[in-house]
Structure formats: structure tokens, C-alpha cells
Amino acid sequence: RKEVEQDPGPFNVPEGATVAFNCTYSNSASQSFFWYRQDCRKEPKLLMSVYSSGNEDGRFTAQLNRASQYISLLIRDSKLSDSATYLCVVNPGGYQKVTFGTGTKLQVIP
């Protein structure tokens, strides 16, 4: 089993739709969790950290389920500008290393 797994997509959704991505991780000792977005040929940009209590930032909601070892990202009212690859990032514990998922591609269509 891979350390961090994501559905590569693509997810093609109409503007205004709600879309959710999941990401599973294999190491139950994992401590820190993040979502990044990456546009084509650009650097990853931090979208949000994922806390045990979950967190929300505008249209974006992230949740952590330690029992089932997954994190989720919910995007409400999708905009064309949300089209990007969403990377799940997990710190497996201990040192500063993080593991990136392979990313989920989102395409929001007019």
C-alpha cells in the first residue's frame, strides 16, 4: 500500500458544484496533514492545514478521520479558478519529511 494515496481524477465538475476529494495514508502515526494546490507548471501553494477538529476556509473544508486514516477536502460553489491539481501531504511522524500524494486533478467547466 502506498504511503499516501489519492484518486488521480480528473474530476470534471460544472461551475457552482460541490466536489470532494479523499486521501488515504498508511502510517497511523502520521502527525501533520495538509492540502496544497498546484497549477500547471507552477509551484505547489498551501491551501490549508488539516486539524483533528477539521477546519474551514471560505468555500473549502478539510477534515481528518484518524480511525479510517484519511483526510478529505470539500470545495463548495466551484469556480473556474479552482481548476488545478490538489495534492494531499502527510508527515508520517518524526522528522520534517512529508510525503506527497500523486494529486487529484480538478477541472471546473463553465
Partner 1 sequence: DTEVTQTPKHLVMGMTNKKSLKCEQHMGHRAMYWYKQKAKKPPELMFVYSYEKLSINESVPSRFSPECPNSSLLNLHLHALQPEDSALYLCASSQKGSRQGADEQYFGPGTRLTVT
b/e per residue 75-92 (b: at least 16 CB within 10 A): beebeeebbbbbbbbbbb
Give the integer Cα–Cα distance in Å for 6 and 25: 9
The minimum distance between CB 31 and partner 1, in angstroms, equals: 5
- Residues 89-108 touching partner 1, rule: CB under 8 A, are 91, 93-98, 100-103
Smaller CB separation from partner 1, 16 or 70: 70
Q: Is 62 in the site for partner 1 (CB under 8 A)?
A: no
Does residue number 44 form part of the binding site for partner 1 (CB under 8 A)? yes
Runs of H (alpha helix) within 3-103: none
Q: Give the integer Cα–Cα distance in Å for 91 and 31.
A: 6
Measured from the CB atom, is 7 or 17 closer to partner 1? 7
Residue with smaller CB distance to partner 1, 16 or 46:
46
What is the rounded CA–CA span in Å between residue 46 and residue 78?
A: 18
Query: Closer CB to partner 1, residue 58 or residue 94?
Result: 94
**Tell me, what amino acid is at 106?**
L
- Contact between 87 and partner 1 (CB under 8 A)? yes
Residues near partner 1 (CB under 8 A): 31-32, 34, 41-46, 49, 87, 91, 93-98, 100-103
